[in-house]
Amino acid sequence: MAYSLQMLRALIEAHPDRAERLTPHVEALEVSIQSQPAFCLQNVRTLFEAAHATIAPQLGIEFPSRAGFPDRMRGVIDALDFSVADHPDAATIHTHVQSLVAAINDMAVALARLSNVPNMRHGGSLDWGTLERQHATMLGGLCDSLVSFLFDVAWSRPLALDEDAQPAIFEDFADFNEWLDDVNGPVEVAGSTFRASRVLYLLDPLKHEAGRADWYTRAAAGTAEDEEAA
């Protein structure tokens, strides 16, 4: 039977406009868990990076340039509101759910670190046992529950923002907008010229958001690879 990340699949179905770009990453992780467990860790990392890069700007989080993978996920968890609206114990619910989500994150980090111990992920001597298959299954399950839950909270619940916080505007995404303009060039209509990024932002904000999330994810992944190489 093929392995399925059921919660992430449900997230994509519930939020097709926002989550459709997760599909190839989900499919890659499912395949790696099923038949290529050595690649599971990098596929999980991609999905976690997508959560960082998508949710953090929505929450107004700015990570330090050298922030590590666990620190970025912890920052997202600390900023989200997990309470239940109008419940008399909303604050208590938030505290306990936040602790639960943080514990899932800690387990995923521990598995990732254990997988990086020599001979534990890719194997060494044929006489040594590895946890390759067990790692892939456990790490995939943790990723499925954690990433899908964080996206669902971020997309389905109102966020508790500071009173002084201002809603995101076009100018807040200068790096992505410049990249989009470079790739697509100017848009000309009836003799007038417009920036491609602004046209997309005004006419299809969900597409702009989805493209922005994908761009930030790839940029974050490139930064992580540079850090590991260093």
Total Cβ atoms within 10 A of residue 212: 23
Residue with tokens 């001979």: 119
Q: What is the pTM of this model?
A: 0.66
Greatest distance between any 2 Cα atoms in the chain? 73
**134 residue type, one letter:** Q
Query: Is residue 224 scored above 50 in pLDDT?
Result: no
Residues 6+ apart with CB under 8 A from 173: 57, 197, 212
Tokens matching residue 201: 């932002």
Q: How does pLDDT run across 122-158, given as a tens digit for each residue?
A: 555 555 555 577 778 888 999 999 999 999 998 876 5
Element (DSSP H or E) covering residue 109: helix 90-115
Q: How does pLDDT run across 51-70, given as a tens digit for each residue?
A: 888 888 777 777 776 667 77
Closest CA to 51 of 74, 27, 33: 74
Element (DSSP H or E) covering residue 225: helix 205-229
Give residue 101's pLDDT. 94
Give residue 221's pLDDT. 56
Torsion, Cα 121 125 127 133, to 10 degrees, reads 20
Quick check: helix, strand or coil at residue 155? Answer: helix
Give residue 158's pLDDT. 56
**53 residue type, one letter:** A
Give residue 172's pLDDT. 79
pLDDT band at 229 (very low <50, low <70, confident <90, very high): very low
Give residue 166's pLDDT. 54
Tokens matching residue 210: 């989805």
Contact 151, 19 (CB under 8 A): yes
Q: Is 14 exposed, middle or buried (0-12, 13-18, 19+ CB in 10 A)?
A: middle
